[in-house]
Structure 1
Amino acid sequence: MRIENSFIPVRGVGEATERRLWTEGITHWDEFDGSVVGDTLADRIERFIEEGRTHLERGDVSVFAERLPAASRWRLYENVRDDACFLDIETTGLDATRNDVTTVTLHRGGETKTFVNGDDLTVERLETELERSALLVTFNGRRFDVPFLETCYDLDVTVPHLDLMYPCKKLGLGGGLKAIERELGIDRGLPDLSGRDAVRLWHQYERGDDDALETLIEYNRADTTNMEPLLETVTEQLHEQVFEAACPDR
């Protein structure tokens, strides 16, 4: 499903109205002709479509991210798939005012990069990577990763953000990233480590254990790269549940 199939970013259009448009055969912006809804709402939708096309031509999905509920931002992915940046961080604790970021992994366009505290993890590197991204994808990053980075590195993360936890909840998937991976059959090929293990591994590295850092990096990279097949699966299932169910003839 693409943004051009969506009408709920328009003020006054809820899921029921959007579904009614779809069932009436208006499943894409190109098919909207002002029917089905009243004149005032039709005018709003037409303005939204006109402005939306301009944003999409620039590869900018921020206006749609702002108007879509968190559980519906999966709709952004298909439009900017190649420029989506999957991100995950490891830290020494849960309080950004007292704890540190240890590693940050970003996965975009098939390339995975990990930055390490005290080596190449800098605010400049983070800003450069985020500026190159059309969409930021995290799991629970809305509450943890993004505010942690903003506090520790005085960043202002303005990239449109898709937090996978919310569309997962829409599908009834809960219990954390690794539990959802297991439920969906997504393999990470690593021992079952936890956030507590990540803290322990960092402290071992600080005491001179380079192997501990390698294990920490592998763990961080697995958390990040596995979000891509997870998002692919979630978008496919939600596409069927939300869009195709309302458009049985398509």
Structure 2
Amino acid sequence: MLTSTYIHIPRVGATIEKKIWASGVRTWDEFSDKKDVVPIPRSRMEMILPGIEESKERLASHDFEFFARSLPSAEHWRAFSMFSEKAAYVDIETTGLSPGSSHITVIGIYDGKDAKTFIHGIDLDDVVEEFEKYEYLVTFNGARFDLPFIKREFPEVNMNKLHADLMYPLRRISLTGGLKKIEVELGISRKEDVAGITGFDAVRLWHQYRKGDQEALELLLEYNREDTINLKTIMEMTLPRFIEHKFSESI
């Protein structure tokens, strides 16, 4: 989808992009070859052609920060396929809902192969170095919740990365509600011991652990791991639907 994207180019908005797609032109290469069939002003054409060349160069050099800056945040999902090899699926657990009055208890990061959990009072500080490994973050409601918490507690973490908050593109394809509800709708199941756990339970489990219940911590970590692993499953299952929906807007 990234190589069919134009809205990151200066002075190119959604209306122009839709006109390009509606003319039968999708990819950057197609635009260069068939620009004469695209019904847009010459002034825009003169912006798009060099913008395409720069985009190709930036993509070839794997310049994720360029696309993180230039793409609207709500459209970062378009870059997933190109940067998925260095994607982190992130989910946090906290003592409450506000970064100002609560703190992180667990940060879970899944890199597509291994699920890692970082725990308050044990190794939570290690996430600063861990985040340096990734170019792309995938969350659910992370723009409003997970990333502000992380940035408040670890301001040194570089957040100049691509970030797909799945909650928003999922809404566009009529998958609404919380993460667990959407998992059910997509036919994604959880292990029996964590299937019924909610975010409120996660707070309770943390307090039980702080009182000496080690099994409560293990259950909390398993719950968090399932969250991060399922984010990858959801992204891979729904990305084709995101793309289909986006192109359908130009018809």
Instruction: Please confirm whether the aligned pair reaches a TM-score higher than 0.5, indicating the same fold.
Output: yes
One of 146, 163, 166 as aligned partner of 2:165: 163
What SS does structure 2 have at the residue aligned with 1:26? coil
The range that moved more, 65-74 or 93-102, is 65-74
Total equivalences in the alignment: 244
The range that moved more, 223-232 or 12-21, is 12-21
The one-letter amino acid paired with 1:169 is R
2:151 counterpart residue number: 150
User: Shift in Å at residue 225 of structure 1?
Assistant: 0.9
Give 5+ residue unaligned stretches, structure 1.
Answer: none
Q: What do the CA deviations read for 1:62-97 (whole angstroms, capped 9, x no partner)?
A: 333333344422211010111111100001111222
The one-letter amino acid paired with 1:174 is T
CA distance in 2, matches of 1:50, 1:109: 31
User: Would you say the 8 A contact 2:108–2:224 is kept in 1?
Assistant: yes
What SS does structure 2 have at the residue aligned with 1:17? helix
Distance change (3 Å), C-alpha of 1:188 and 1:60: farther
Answering whether residue 211 of structure 2 is matched by residue 207 of structure 1, we say yes
Answering whether residue 225 of structure 2 is matched by residue 221 of structure 1, we say yes
CA distance in 1, matches of 2:181, 2:114: 25
1:42 counterpart residue number: 45
What percentage of aligned pairs have identical amino acids?
40
1:136 counterpart residue number: 137
2:63 counterpart residue number: 60
User: Would you say the 8 A contact 2:18–2:249 is kept in 1?
Assistant: no
One of 102, 107, 125 as aligned partner of 1:104: 107
The one-letter amino acid paired with 2:227 is D
2:189 counterpart residue number: 187
Give 5+ residue unaligned stretches, structure 2.
Answer: none
State the TM-score, normalized to the length of structure 1: 0.90
The one-letter amino acid paired with 1:58 is S
State the TM-score, normalized to the length of structure 2: 0.90
RMSD of aligned Cα (Å): 1.9
The one-letter amino acid paired with 2:233 is P
CA distance in 1, matches of 2:127, 2:97: 20
